[in-house]
Each structure stands twice: as C-alpha cells, then as structure tokens.
Amino acid sequence: MTSKFRFGAALAALALLALPAAAQETEKTLFFYNWTDYYPVQLLTKFEAETGIKVILDGFDSNETLLAKLQSGGASYDVIVPSDYVIPGLIKDGLLLKIDTSKMSNYVHMKDAFKNPDFDPKHEYSAPYLWGVTGLAYDSAQVPGGVLEPTWKEYFEPRPELEGKIAALDTASDEITAASLYLGIPQCTESNEDAARILKLLEAQKPKLKLYSSDTTVDRMAAGEVAMHHLWNGATARATAQRDTIRFIYPKEGTPMFRDNFAVPANAPHPENAKIFINWMMAPENAAAVSNAIAYANAIKSDEFLSEQWRKMEAINMPAEYSSRLVPTKDCGPKARDLRDKIWTRLKG
C-alpha cells in the first residue's frame, strides 16, 4: 500500500514529550500509523466531528518499516496497522496492548469468516481492517496482443517488449514471497540452496525492471508510466478507475493474500482514544467508506453501503474459480527471516 498523506512523526513525538502524563491521557488526540495511501482523510474529518478526537496520520511503506519503528522505541503511536503474519511476533515481544475487540459494541458487525483468526484467536490484540491480494497489474494497451498469461513468469521472465517498463514493490517480503511461489519454494524456507535460487531469479530480473517502489503506485499505473507493476489488487482497482486498459492477474502458482489489522502499541499515549477509533471503524457505514475510497474489501457486514463500481471489477470482485490460488502469508521463524534479509541486502546492495 502507499501514501500522499505523510506527517512528521518526529514532530508528533516532540509534542508528546511536551505534555505531562495526565494531559496526554485525557488529550483529545490520536496518533495513527498506517500504510501510506490506505485510509481516506475525509473519513478522519467525520471521526473528529463525531468524537472530538483529532487524528494525526503518519505513513509507512512496509511491515519491515513498522517493525523497525516499534522495536526501536521511536515515536509513539496509538493505532497501527500490521499485517496478519506480523501480529504473533508483536504479541510475543510484548509490543501490543490487549484491547479485547470482542467486547466492543460494534464487534457484532464483524463477518463470521474474520472472527477467531489464527494469528489472534480471541481478538484480544487486534481488529480486522482490510484484506486483499498481491498480484500483477498490467496495461493491456502497452502489451502486444493486449493479454498476459496468469503466471509469475510474465513478471520474473518478462517478454522482451516489456523490459524496462516493469515496476517491482520495494519490500523484501512481497518480492521474495512471489519469487518463492514461482519457483515452488516454501514461503518460510531456511535452506541456503533455496535462497540461492531465489537470489539468482531476482538478480536476473533486476536489469529488466524500471524501478523498485511501493509509493505512488496508483498514480504510476494510472499515468501509464509502466506497463506492468507487482501490485495490490486495491491499488490496481483505483488505477483502473482512471485508466480502463489496466488488467489484474491472480498468478496460478499462488497469489499471496494479506489481512491487515488495527492494533494498539503497548506504549500508546492515548489507548482509550485508540479503542474508540477501532470500535468506530467497525460500524458498517464507516468500514464501507474506506472500501469505497481505496478499493479494498473489509471484514464488516457493510455490503449495503458498498459502491457498485468495485463489485464489477475483477481486481476487487475475484472470480470464484481463482480462490484456490490464494495463499495466506505466513509468520516465518527467525532463521527464515534472516535468510530473506540476506537475499534482499544482496539484491539491493
């Protein structure tokens, strides 16, 4: 995900330091750390009007960035948005506050399919936000013949006419997971041999790319700056709304599925405000407002409030026959994560 709405985390942290503890707790403020371009700012205006709580929004571009911020003890936030596979580690490390989502008044609106998730079985530490998949977006107008095959091969071993016109996401987890799926390697491999195969594939692909970037992806595709982009389905849908020749691929070797969630850091300066916000976001009309604005599905019973345009778009309304291609993102162990970091460092070095 990506954002045009960045605010200075350092300024937020300085503001916190200037306030006594009692004032911080009662202050009508909420520090919100979300994926960039992943929340409609106009909805924050509605929240502020209804609750009197002012929201200061800051953005990050990957789970790795979020983890680094939390682990470093940097600027404090009240609400964060980690992906599913990140949450078990955050809980284990004591970095999340228990919020007991199931006891919130709007919990009754949550779809049954999203209750009792494997990464937080009792919803003690998280509440669902949005979910989607990461696949391939391409501009059919820039592709000879107008159609690409539903395979990661189109991305990792691109056709000559598309070389130099392809954008990769600038996140190790997304790129290495996709490479693993294409090569038939387990997501959480700890094998040096597997790592060498993944690195070889990524290094061979690198000179054929235009850039690595997880920012301004919607604008890039909508403007036709690239012919293909490793991309999230929601970002693809928003770009398609501006450029109707864009298509989305659910790769047959496996299409990573993500579930993003609200959570509260253990050191949140305004935890009660955070709970108010999370409960407010589980109201159907508010959950639908996010989906309508940024084109990702939510976990709330909000269909009556959803826009018809997204229901017609394949990037959002996935054909039923593709469901077998979905692959949940896994929480890999330390050795696998270390191997992934080494691959990425070698690739980007």
List, as one string, the DSSP characters of 221-253.
HHTTS-SEEEEEHHHHHHHHHH-TTEEEE--TT
- Whether residue 38 is annotated as binding a ligand: the answer is no
pLDDT in tens, the chain (349 residues): 433 333 344 444 444 444 444 444 458 999 999 998 899 999 999 999 999 999 999 999 889 899 999 988 867 999 999 999 999 999 999 999 999 999 999 999 999 888 999 899 999 999 999 999 999 999 999 999 999 999 999 999 999 999 999 999 999 999 999 999 999 999 999 999 999 999 999 999 999 999 999 999 999 999 999 999 999 999 999 999 999 999 999 999 999 998 999 999 999 999 999 999 999 999 999 999 999 999 998 999 998 898 988 888 888 878 888 988 999 888 788 999 999 999 999 999 8
Q: Nearest Cα to 93, choosing from 317, 311, 324, 263?
A: 263
* Cβ proximity of 329 and 257 under 8 Å: yes
Q: Nearest Cα to 299, choosing from 124, 2, 77, 84?
A: 84
Phi–psi pair at 137, nearest 5 degrees: -105, 140
- Domain limits, CATH 3.40.190.10, in the chain: 9-129+259-306, 132-257+312-348
SS3 state of residue 321: helix
* Cβ proximity of 2 and 229 under 8 Å: no
d(CA 323, CA 197): 28
Strands (DSSP E) found in 118-242: 126-139, 166-168, 211-212, 228-232
| Structure letter (DSSP) for residue 119 | T
Q: What is the reported pLDDT for 309?
A: 87
The CATH fold assigned to 132-257+312-348 is D-Maltodextrin-Binding Protein; domain 2 (3.40.190)
The CATH fold assigned to 9-129+259-306 is D-Maltodextrin-Binding Protein; domain 2 (3.40.190)
Which pTM was predicted? 0.74
